[in-house]
Amino acid sequence: MTNLQAALAALHTQQLYRTRRLRSGAPTVRTTIDGRSYLTFCSNDYLGLAAHPAIAAALREGTHRYGVGAGASALITGYSSAHHQLEEALAAFLGRPRVLLFASGYMANVGILSALLGRNDTIFADRLNHASLIDGARLSCARLRRYPHVNPQALAKLLTSPRPLHSRTLLATDGVFSMDGDIAPLPELARLASEQSAWLLVDDAHGIGVLGPSGAGTVAQFGLTSEQVPILVGTLGKAFGTSGAFVAGDVALIETLIQRARSYIYTTAPPPALAHASLTALALVQSGHERREQLTALITRFRQGATALHLPLLASPTPIQPLLAGTAPRALAWSRHLERHGILVSAIRPPTVPPGTARLRVSLSAAHSAADVDQLLNALADLPRGNSDGIE
């Protein structure tokens, strides 16, 4: 264990050590962390549904009806009528033939890629894809080629490289990138996939519920069909406010995953009560036009205020609004400054983001008010300045 202790000490020295924060109570925008009340801007609860009373009531009802746990994997006795109803409802919402539930987005991506591809195949992935897509590609044993972020021209050049005969090709991308908040150029990626007879996988964890008609996500926002984007991944733990994930596609895709996705086969199914509650969350997402309008207004307000303050704001039209600090010490200094003002925004440091791009990841929710955003901007106006811990 001495080597582990040395490695942990090195993380402390580099200011890359991570600690858990203990929250008390519900995950609202005003909550208690480590015994202190904060206004929080670091949650993925984009529509403010994580503590919605209707979802909580549905969870209680589901627990009464189905019990607490699933009791087994989905292929034994763990697949319940609640799971089936949620899969059917999500498929109708997304305009897809079938949906398959997973326990988490990480397990979904790992399961999909390792089930569909092998050693002779190739995966082309955006360099800033979520870690689950990178890990899934590695576990598949397929050749992984990473192209520069949101750069379809560079991807097109990579796609001209020779590949084994009779091999499969898959393009993988986030819909909304979780740390930058920008949106993938899905129409261009769909065109390249079609030209190369490749599959296109879009992980729309941060888009579904927020973007597109009725919150159907980035694929729907661009008007792309299931033929253009045959593999669509989404999560329930962000805009839906519950937990779990799903993949949407045609019958052959879903049946293949049921037969071959190890992260689906060899794990206990998600709690049926949670699936029952997620049905209520889905209904709130579909009818959540006012929440999405509120969120859009808050994004505009924050970006205008941050621009007026000359803050290092990355280009993002989504609730994810990164302020680029550069170094880990500076990002930590900014985060601690906000904490002193009663505001919680976590510092995001390598390896979550590339070296030199440490940041504050400001995350907005429809549950925030305009006054909340103004309070954040007022605190940001007084960020520490200097060569090591402030804006240069």
Distance CA 151, CA 188 (A): 10
Q: Are 40 and 362 in contact (CB under 8 A)?
A: no
Distance CA 15, CA 356 (A): 13
Residue of 104, 114, 132, 178 marked active site: 178
Was 206 annotated as part of a binding site?
A: yes
Residue of 43, 52, 114, 206 marked active site: 206
Task: Report CA-CA distances (Å) from 149 to 9, 105, 184, 245, 330.
Answer: 32, 21, 9, 25, 24
Was 69 annotated as part of a binding site?
A: no
* Structural tokens at position 330: 């500076």
Was 67 annotated as part of a binding site?
A: no
Was 336 annotated as part of a binding site?
A: no
Distance of CA 153 to the CA centre of its chain: 25
How many Cα atoms occupy the beta-carbon half-sphere of 18 within 13 Å?
8
φ/ψ of residue 176, rounded to 5: -115, 130
Residue of 238, 276, 337, 368 marked active site: 238
Was 122 annotated as part of a binding site?
A: no
Was 235 annotated as part of a binding site?
A: yes
Was 166 annotated as part of a binding site?
A: no
Could you tell me which residues come within 8 angstroms of residue 60 by beta carbon, excluding any fewer than 6 positions away?
none
Q: How many CB atoms lie within 10 A of CB 160?
A: 8
Q: How many CB atoms lie within 10 A of CB 326?
A: 15
φ/ψ of residue 357, rounded to 5: -125, 25
Task: Report CA-CA distances (Å) from 308 to 85, 267, 321, 352, 378.
Answer: 48, 50, 15, 28, 12
Was 300 annotated as part of a binding site?
A: no
Our answer to whether residue 178 is catalytic in this structure is yes
* Structural tokens at position 168: 């499969």
Cis bond leading into 351, ω under 30°?
A: yes
Our answer to whether residue 238 is catalytic in this structure is yes
Instruction: Measure the N-to-C terminal CA separation of the chain; round to a whole number of Å.
Output: 41
Q: Residues forming the annotated binding site for substrate? A: 18, 130, 352
Q: Catalytic amino acids?
A: 178, 206, 238
Q: Residues forming the annotated binding site for pyridoxal 5'-phosphate? A: 105-106, 178, 206, 235
Q: Residues forming the annotated binding site? A: 18, 105-106, 130, 178, 206, 235, 352
